[in-house]
Structure 1
Amino acid sequence: MGQSGKEQCCSSLTKHEDRLSMLTDDILLSILGRVDTATATRTSVLSKRWRDLPWLLPVLNLRVWNFLPHPCPEPIGAHHMDQAMSRLTKATRSFLADPNSKSTIIKRLSLQLYVTGDYTREIGPLARDAIDCGVVKKLCLAIVDEKDPRDCEHEYMLQQALAVDGFFTAYPSVFQCLTKLCLYNVRFAEWDMQHLLFDSCKQLNQLSLSHCDVGDSSVWQINAPDSKLRILEVRMSCLKRIEVLCPPKLKHLCWDEWFCFEAPLRFGSVPSLKGLGLICGATIDHQEFSLSQVLHGTRNIHALTLDFEGERLWIQPEGKQLCHAFKQLRKLSICGIFVDFDLLWTINLLEAAPSVEIFSVRIWDHACQDDEQLRTRTGYEAQRTKPSWSMPKFTSSETWQLRELEIVGFRPQELQISFLRSVMERASNLKMVLLKEDKEPCDACDSMNTPRGGFCPANKGEQEAIVKQLTDGVGSSARIIFPNSGGS
């Protein structure tokens, strides 16, 4: 670049910086609040105007994952974890050291760390002092781990639990303002999980447990009438069952993958529960269970997601039995339906839930997981069992409130066409039918380029042919929309 070009570039940068400098602190802080703290900190070297801004952020996100090298190695080794924790400790010290001199209140501190080395012995006191001084009002804590759950032995998970318990024991101030807690690979077999999570953490309103339990095939009872817990997320757990007896403010519960082979949940009194998600790819050993029995005790569920991850259904055929639990249901999502499966069985659920306004179906079309030898070796059936549900034997006396029907992963095949026509015939209030491509295909699945049922129609002619198939002889005024292509 010549001298003239350099001068133009510098002039452009100066003008750009001047425009930013004209903004007020609250606007600049709003901009910085949209990036991770590591990035926000680096902006302090831009100019004197930016020097102190990161230290005025009312929401502080100190996450060890932001201090890992880029691109991130796979798998993440102990050396990189140690380096990231060293950098995180330095950043925490920079923001929280001498909290008495800090003029800005941190409304929420998100702290994510590994329990490796001695770093928590420095981070812990920094967080404690900031909490004790009233500088930090709310704390979101994530104690993460990079070890694959399949490689986590019993002793390793106990060590993780010991480290977590040790951190809380050493710095009890953490309990005072802990509102969100995320744990990984922890086995509370020798600790009182109820006392630690609910009796001690009185402000806790969100709990996320990834591969955590109280022992293989154990039952975890949640009986916490004074708890403020609103969101509970469980992922890849060896718990036999969670008995949700009394968390009065619990609004949303999601369980992603259970390894025991029976119904994973039992409810007691959950008056506030409005959202429930159950996600699991059933192996040959998973038993079907009664969804109505699982939902017994619930009465206000508004949104229900069932995700079968392309495997057989793990719920028993039901219809009328579900009416009570589905009385308040507004949104129903049935995900992970293998592409060759009939969809008409889902009408049983719609008949039991005439109050549903939005019904979403997501098709599973991943041929990369069809290797029969691999499926048998990993515990999955070589052949997926098609749904044994018949068309509903009862018809609801109430008018369906369904106004929006969506299929993600739509294929112009007879199974899906007949299902759509059946719903359109029954749903007199239906306003729109959305037929979408799956925009998040499996990275390992080359066959997504040639899906089993054909491509989602892309051009106007193909779309008009589908619309004609769906509407001929069907008295429905619903608009049929192909959102991914912008046509209808």
Structure 2
Amino acid sequence: MESPPLKLNVARDEDRISDLPDELLLRILARLDLRDAVRAGAASTRWRHLPHQLSVLLLGVSRFRRATLVESMDAFAAALLSVCPPAERSCECQRSHAIKALALCFYLSAPHLSSIGRALEDVVSRGKTKWIEFRISPPPGDNTAPELTEFGQQFMSFCRAYQVAFRWLTSLTLENLAFGDSDVTDLISNCVKLESLALRACRMVNFEHSVLKIDTPCSGLQELNLVHFVCKRIQLISVPKLRQASCLIWRFENPPVRLDYVPDLRHVAIACLRTHPKAPFKLSECLSRSALNLSELHLNFFHQMIWIQPEHPKQLTAIFRNLSNASLSGIFPECDLSWTLFILEAAPALQKFGVISNSACMCQCVGQ
């Protein structure tokens, strides 16, 4: 005899997940983009209070695709304010809640910067935030040089207007902005908790004559990435906590990078594209004698001319005494590699030395 069909409470089974305790539901929401977490909260009274209890918030404007950029930023700002409401509009449970990590990716949109800045200052005022990361760029499009300058000024004004929020910033990526002579130093000095800074496709306003000088003896900056940065030269005058520096630049004079006081530096990567003949320069003119803990050095020549001039190993022995990993990439196949011997002779602790061309990769271990 067949058993009667099992009767299910479909509505009950479909919402069984809502019977889970808040702790488990928060773990589920923590795996979602903030936009999706807010939407989940809006769909159910059981979930409605949960987004306000998230301790890690990730929000990117690219998740809000609308007809216009203003509408996209409207949606972005609304989502941010829904979980980080101004103090005067937040309830007691929201005021007592601490956001430990916050990562935001947004456009420089003048109508929205004030609401974003105020929300961030409300967040950090609770004093328990450990990590704040920004990725900021102008609206998409082919911006002219004057427009890049205007956006750079707009960002610096935003930074000065909300100094409390920027003092808590730990990681910052900026794209397609033009900076004045002292802007980058001022930015790092004002962001006292900043550990990582990346400037991508940025430039100096007067890039043909301006040197990017970074003189921040009191900063805690540990990582600096300059990608497609356009200027006359990059000079790190004093960045005592810096551990990693990467520089990919197009326009420069010899030497393209000067590292002065960087005693904690461990990893250096320099990439330069030279399309016109120019005299090579010595590594000793570029690397700092204060960087006695340098362990990795990576140079990229983009399959163009070799811009390193061999020199006596004694000039580099103090700098390379702890160098264990070195690589030369973008070497054209016909290049005579005998000029690289001075690096091997100057680095007694070298364990790995790689030479990479556009058609082959040769890695050789030297010593232990």
Structure-1-length-normalised TM-score: 0.63
Q: Would you say how many aligned residue pairs link Structure 1 and Structure 2?
A: 352
Q: 2:318 aligns with which of 306, 316, 324?
A: 324
Structure 2 counterpart of 1:244, one-letter code = L
- CA distance in 1 between counterparts of 2:97 and 2:353 reads 46
The corresponding residue for 1:161 is: 152
Cα RMSD for the two superposed structures: 3.3
Structure 1 residue 178 corresponds to structure 2 residue 166: no
The corresponding residue for 1:67 is: 64
Q: How do 1:45-194 and structure 2 match up within 5 A? A: 51-68=48-65, 80-99=68-87, 100-101=90-91, 102=94, 103-134=96-127, 136-145=129-138, 152-189=143-180, 192-193=182-183
Structure 1 residue 239 corresponds to structure 2 residue 227: no
Offset of 1:238 from its aligned partner?
2.0
- CA distance in 2 between counterparts of 1:54 and 1:65 reads 20
Q: How do 1:295-306 and structure 2 match up within 5 A? A: 295-297=287-289, 298-306=291-299
Structure 1 residue 262 corresponds to structure 2 residue 254: yes
Offset of 1:345 from its aligned partner?
4.9
The corresponding residue for 2:192 is: 202
The corresponding residue for 1:334 is: 328
Structure 2 counterpart of 1:228, one-letter code = G
CA contact (8 A) 2:231 2:251 kept: yes
Q: 1:428 to 1:235 in 2, by over 3 A?
A: closer
Offset of 1:251 from its aligned partner?
0.8
The corresponding residue for 2:269 is: 277
CA contact (8 A) 2:272 2:302 kept: yes
- CA distance in 2 between counterparts of 1:218 and 1:135 reads 40
Structure 2 counterpart of 1:308, one-letter code = F
Q: Which has the higher strand share?
A: 2
Structure 2 counterpart of 1:220, one-letter code = L
CA contact (8 A) 2:230 2:249 kept: no
Q: How do 1:402-421 and structure 2 match up within 5 A? A: 409-410=360-361
Larger CA deviation: 295-304 vs 86-95:
295-304
Q: 1:154 to 1:275 in 2, by over 3 A?
A: same
Structure 2 counterpart of 1:63, one-letter code = G
Q: 1:347 to 1:28 in 2, by over 3 A?
A: farther
Q: 1:27 to 1:230 in 2, by over 3 A?
A: farther
- CA distance in 2 between counterparts of 1:428 and 1:288 reads 29
Structure 2 counterpart of 1:301, one-letter code = L
SS at match of 1:119: helix
The corresponding residue for 2:4 is: none
Offset of 1:58 from its aligned partner?
1.7
- CA distance in 2 between counterparts of 1:340 and 1:14 reads 69
Q: 1:322 to 1:113 in 2, by over 3 A?
A: same
Structure 2 residue runs without a partner (length 5+)? 1-6
- CA distance in 2 between counterparts of 1:241 and 1:353 reads 27
Structure-2-length-normalised TM-score: 0.81
Q: How do 1:289-300 and structure 2 match up within 5 A? A: 289-297=281-289, 298-300=291-293
Offset of 1:327 from its aligned partner?
1.1
SS at match of 1:111: strand
- CA distance in 1 between counterparts of 2:351 and 2:20 reads 44
Structure 1 residue 219 corresponds to structure 2 residue 211: yes
Deviations 1:225-260 (A, max 9, x none): 211111111122222122212111111111122322
Deviations 1:346-397 (A, max 9, x none): 45433332312233444424xxxxxxxxxxxxxxxxxxxxxxxxxxxxxxxx
SS at match of 2:220: coil
SS at match of 1:227: coil
- CA distance in 2 between counterparts of 1:291 and 1:133 reads 47
The corresponding residue for 2:345 is: 351
- CA distance in 1 between counterparts of 2:31 and 2:337 reads 42
